[in-house]
Amino acid sequence: MASMPRLIVGLGNPGSQYEKTRHNAGFWFVDELSRHYRAGFRVESVFQGELAKFEREGNIFLLLKPATYMNHSGRSVGSVARYYKIDPAGILVAHDELEFAPGLVRLKQGGGHGGHNGLKDIIAHLGSADFARLRLGIGRPAEKHQVSHYVLDNPGRLEGEQITAAINQVMGYMDEVMAGNLEKVMNRLNAR
């Protein structure tokens, strides 16, 4: 049974050169959450990332953007989770997903890393894969050898609009997600 996600992590790479790249879809999502809930990010060097806090229905929620670069995201996630005593089931990680077309978004509880280096590192640092994932579709290049260039490139205008639309779609479900109704949201979101 999924619990309420007290820590919502967006995956991406720090720095203006990566800001608009496909790999930063997770950052775009938590940035939108921070605007929606009026929670400003602050650089927290002790956690190797940017952290924002807000309160809803008497519960404190944390938003995190690791500043460790994608492949070392687990350092930041692990240190925040340990400090705030949040177990993996209380974490939601938003990330770019090559397996889905731009605009497609899915929510799932637990699972493997599917070759995603950010997820792989988080699993290693938490010692568990039992966290929820928000998978934001970015599509994939025609050739497998182009993947690293593709994820670090900016999406085209239409693709960018599709990813933004998917993020906005999820925003409509976030109150339910934060109330711990992950299963209900999964059924609705994943059926679309």
How far, in Å, are 3, 26, 43, 100, 177 from residue 13 at the CA level?
28, 10, 14, 20, 25
**Contact, 175 vs 191, CB < 8 A?**
no
Structure tokens at 17: 């050169």
d(CA 23, CA 177): 23
Question: Which residue's structure tokens are 């929606």?
Answer: 36
Q: Tokens 């400090």 appear where?
A: 83
In DSSP terms, 10 is beta-bridged to: 94
Q: Is 23 a catalytic residue?
A: yes
Catalytic residue among 23, 95, 116, 125: 23
* Residues ≥6 apart with Cβ < 8 Å to 180: 2, 3, 4
Instruction: Name the residue among 49, 60, 50 with its Cα closest to residue 85.
Output: 60
Q: What is the DSSP string of 24-35?
A: GHHHHHHHHHHH
- Mind telling me the catalytic residues? 23
